[in-house]
């Protein structure tokens, strides 16, 4: 039953939109499987968590990135002796990296977000397992040389033997260019071979491994490299065996961490799920719902209409026990019905709801709905039969914990019988104590609801002049259907309209007149209320103006008092200066020197001055010194040692030039003893990462490297954005791009230096 109600109220569409916000496939599945809870403590906890996540997202970025589904590898680890593949180990590494980052993040949350800091305890920092995986597996899914000393030695030997084979083969093709015109060295079945013409045997001996499709070229292994190729194959077998041993070792180590891995994975999925729900609540400008004895939704909006980006009219929805909504078609009756039901489901699923602060709902345990004109084709049921069948199922299960939503109750059949059936259904639901919202066009149903104490009535407002709906509910008013008014406006002849009126029974005409009189009275009351509200706003505005005048007078008085005090202080100081000027200055100088290093103080207070070509300057923030050799617009070219760097003028500070001989000034920086053009920032906080990146680029520029690789991890996380924003402003960087498939993908940035 719930799935059908969720579909009619478009709850399933809301979940589909929310699932797109999750970062992982398990997180998306968790969102799509979400159902409203009927356990009150559970609902309260979910809402509190969503509220905390919303506050978190308003203040800072959650460092949550895409992580793999670890379910298969966890199940595999549960089997004793099983061995994870390299791809599975890489997925485990990504999982642990994400777990460690989020553990540190949740551990350091401020006090007002402590409600969600418990996630830090459920996440693992990885320990020895993370360390070993980092040493053993790279982001492209390859086993690293650092996985074991034996593997490093084997690969070193493979490299040596391969080089010797290539050297010998290169010598052969160079000596026999006539039979090796392409001078190609390649592999066949793991052995190095060369491409030669068929008559090669006159020049050297060799083993033919393959031939081209035309038969004009042979793939030959010269006898002089057979032994080396044999050795190479043996080394590769050793490499494969060592890799298998490493995989077994890492799998056994991972198995010892199985409890932590499972806990972290479940925590990551829940964080992803909570993030998606909170992010959707934030997009909908949701507020924390209260639960009470009635539905009182102020300024409610339908969530899916908000997501379209169009302007959505707010509606106030009130329900104590029963409510019958009347009025013309296209007036918003069905949208109001769906909005109330959907917001009820959202609140009990942990979403903040798109309504004003202080809105309340009745805690519900069963939801029922009959909305729309869906026909049961499989069962050959008409629209009316389909509605009646659905309502029959509702009446069997309804109780006093139920919310029942019925659109166009009794429609689709004879109006007299349909009205009688609708009234009987409303009475049945009243006797069961259900909370009911129904819409109708039938006058008998309207009058029944108006008289019955259990039901309230409301009408969607409609502008008779423009024939446009106003999408607002007027409570306590029974609305007309405006069928004859609309018909006349759209060209139905007056004669037909009058005939229709004459065919209406006396009771119907009287009911229409009563309803019309009530509508006029309601509109009059609304006008009077609006006038009262206008006067209240005007009074409030005048009060605010008076408070503003009072505030300005106080500020003026305070300003004058401060000016008087300042003038008094200044004159006192002048008198003291005249009496003991020299003595006071000496005491002040000694005081400054004792508090702060004099040289540093003078450098800080000294104005930067205008930078000119030839000036010696300090480059901020690195602090390196150099000489200005060119100025163009807002940038200058600075010579630092033997390196020329473009720097913004705002980042230059003029410094005193040390006495030198008449030669060009060059300030050298120490050259790094070792430099590797790759920087790994995984797991670092933003400020630490940027500091390391700055030092790395300084060293790269001094060494003269033209291309560097920065590893920051996958996703749209904060670390990647910080790195790329820094590279945009760096004077060392000419351009940068994401890594290619063989370079690490979007988890890597390749920078070209000047």
What pTM, to 2 d.p., does this model score?
0.64
Using pLDDT thresholds of 50, 70 and 90, give the confidence band for residue 225. very high
40 CB neighbour count, 10 Å cutoff: 12
Lowest pLDDT segment from 58-72, 547-561, 663-677: 663-677
Per-residue pLDDT, averaged over 225-244, amounts to 95
Distance, in Å, from the CA atom of 307 to the CA atom of 10, rounded to the nearest integer, reads 13
Q: Which domains does the chain have, with CATH numbers?
A: 2-126+257-283 (1.10.1420), 147-248 (1.10.1420), 291-497 (3.40.50.300), 607-654 (2.30.30), 678-753 (3.30.1370.110)
Distance, in Å, from the CA atom of 582 to the CA atom of 436, rounded to the nearest integer, reads 91
pLDDT in tens, 475-521: 877 755 555 555 666 667 777 766 766 665 544 555 555 555 565 66
pLDDT at 463: 62
Contact of 332 with 315, CB cutoff 8 Å: yes
- What b-and-e string marks burial along 146-184, b requiring 16 or more CB atoms within 10 Å of the CB? ebbeebeebbebbeebbeebeeebeebbeebeebbeeee
pLDDT at 246: 96
Per-residue pLDDT, averaged over 83-107, amounts to 96
Lowest pLDDT segment from 86-95, 197-206, 569-578: 569-578
Using the predicted structure, report yes or no on whether residue 313 has a pLDDT greater than 80. yes
The gap from C-alpha 527 to its chain's centroid, in whole angstroms, comes to 46
Distance, in Å, from the CA atom of 218 to the CA atom of 186, rounded to the nearest integer, reads 12
pLDDT in tens, 321-372: 999 998 776 557 888 999 999 999 999 999 999 999 999 999 999 999 998 6
pLDDT at 697: 86
Lowest pLDDT segment from 273-277, 506-510, 534-538, 591-595: 591-595
Using pLDDT thresholds of 50, 70 and 90, give the confidence band for residue 644. confident
pLDDT in tens, 242-290: 999 999 999 999 999 999 999 999 999 999 999 999 999 999 999 999 9
Average pLDDT value over all residues in the chain? 83
**Contacts of residue 475, Cβ cutoff 8 Å, sequence gap at least 6:** 318, 456, 457, 458
Contact of 335 with 323, CB cutoff 8 Å: no
pLDDT at 136: 96
């Amino acid at each position: 039953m719930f799935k059908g109600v969720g579909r009619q109220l478009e709850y399933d569409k809301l979940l589909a939109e929310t699932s797109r916000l999750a970062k992982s496939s398990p997180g998306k599945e968790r969102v799509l499987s979400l159902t409203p809870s009927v356990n009150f403590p559970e609902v309260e906890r979910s809402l509190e968590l969503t509220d905390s996540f919303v506050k978190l997202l308003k203040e800072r970025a959650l460092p949550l990135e895409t992580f793999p589904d670890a379910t298969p590898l966890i199940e595999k680890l549960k089997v004793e002796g099983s061995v994870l593949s390299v791809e599975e180990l890489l997925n485990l590494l990504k999982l642990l990296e994400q777990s460690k980052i989020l553990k540190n993040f949740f551990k350091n949350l401020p006090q007002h977000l402590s409600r969600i800091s418990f996630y830090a305890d459920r996440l693992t920092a990885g320990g020895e397992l993370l360390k070993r995986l980092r040493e053993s597996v790279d982001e492209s899914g390859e086993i690293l040389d650092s996985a074991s000393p034996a593997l490093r030695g084997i690969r070193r030997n493979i490299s040596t033997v391969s080089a010797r084979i290539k050297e010998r083969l290169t010598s052969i093709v160079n000596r026999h260019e006539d039979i090796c015109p392409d001078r190609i060295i390649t592999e066949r079945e793991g052995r190095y071979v060369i491409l030669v013409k068929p008559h090669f045997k006159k020049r050297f001996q060799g083993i033919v491994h393959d031939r081209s499709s035309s038969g004009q070229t042979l793939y030959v292994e010269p006898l002089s490299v057979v032994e080396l190729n044999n050795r190479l194959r043996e080394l590769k077998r050793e490499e494969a065996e060592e890799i298998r041993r490493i995989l077994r070792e890492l799998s056994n180590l991972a198995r010892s961490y199985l409890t932590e891995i499972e806990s972290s994975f479940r925590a990551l999925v829940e964080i992803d799920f909570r993030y998606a729900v909170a992010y959707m609540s934030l997009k909908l400008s949701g507020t924390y719902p209260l639960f009470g004895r009635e539905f009182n939704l102020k300024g409610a909006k339908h969530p899916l209409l908000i997501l379209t980006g169009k302007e959505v009219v707010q509606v106030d929805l009130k329900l104590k026990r029963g409510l019958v909504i009347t009025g013309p078609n296209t007036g918003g009756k069905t949208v109001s019905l769906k909005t109330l039901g959907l917001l009820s489901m959202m609140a009990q699923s942990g979403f903040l709801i798109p309504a004003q602060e202080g809105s309340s709902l009745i805690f519900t345990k069963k939801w029922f709905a009959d909305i729309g004109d869906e026909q049961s084709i499989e069962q050959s049921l008409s629209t009316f039969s389909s509605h009646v069948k659905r309502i029959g199922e509702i009446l069997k299960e309804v109780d006093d914990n139920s919310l029942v939503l019925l659109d166009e109750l009794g429609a689709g059949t004879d109006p007299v019988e349909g009205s009688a059936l609708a009234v009987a259904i409303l009475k049945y639901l009243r006797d069961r104590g259900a909370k009911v919202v129904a819409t109708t066009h039938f006058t008998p149903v309207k009058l029944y609801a108006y008289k019955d104490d259990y039901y309230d009535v409301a009408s969607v407002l409609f502008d008779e002049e423009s024939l446009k709906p106003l999408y607002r509910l007027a409570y306590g008013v029974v609305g007309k259907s405006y069928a004859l008014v609309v018909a006349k406006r759209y060209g139905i002849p007056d004669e037909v309209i009058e005939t229709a009126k004459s065919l209406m029974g006396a009771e119907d005409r009287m009911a229409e007149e009563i309803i019309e009189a009530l509508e006029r009275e309601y509109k009059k009351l609304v006008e009077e209320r609006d006038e009262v509200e206008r006067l209240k706003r005007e009074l409030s505005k005048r009060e605010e103006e008076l408070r503003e005048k009072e505030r300005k007078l106080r500020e003026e008085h305070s300003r004058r008092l401060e000016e008087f005090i300042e003038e008094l202080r200044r004159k006192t100081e002048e008198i003291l200066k005249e009496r003991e000027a020299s003595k006071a200055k000496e005491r002040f100088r000694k005081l400054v020197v004792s508090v702060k290093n004099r040289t540093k103080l003078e450098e800080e207070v000294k104005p930067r001055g205008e930078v000119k070509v030839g000036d010696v300057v300090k480059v901020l923030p690195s602090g390196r010194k150099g000489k200005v050799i060119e100025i163009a617009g807002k940038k200058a070219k600075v010579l630092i040692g033997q390196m020329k760097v473009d720097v913004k003028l705002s980042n230059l500070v003029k410094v005193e030039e040390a006495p030198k001989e008449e030669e060009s000034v060059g300030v050298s920086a120490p050259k790094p003893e070792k430099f590797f053009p790759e920087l790994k920032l995984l797991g670092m906080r933003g400020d630490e990462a940027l500091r390391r990146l700055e030092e790395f680029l300084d060293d790269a520029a001094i060494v003269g490297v033209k291309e560097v690789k920065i590893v920051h991890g996958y996703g749209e996380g904060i670390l990647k954005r910080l790195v790329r924003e820094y590279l945009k402003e760096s004077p060392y960087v000419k351009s940068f791009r994401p890594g290619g498939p063989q370079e690490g993908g979007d988890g890597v940035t390749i920078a070209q230096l000047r």
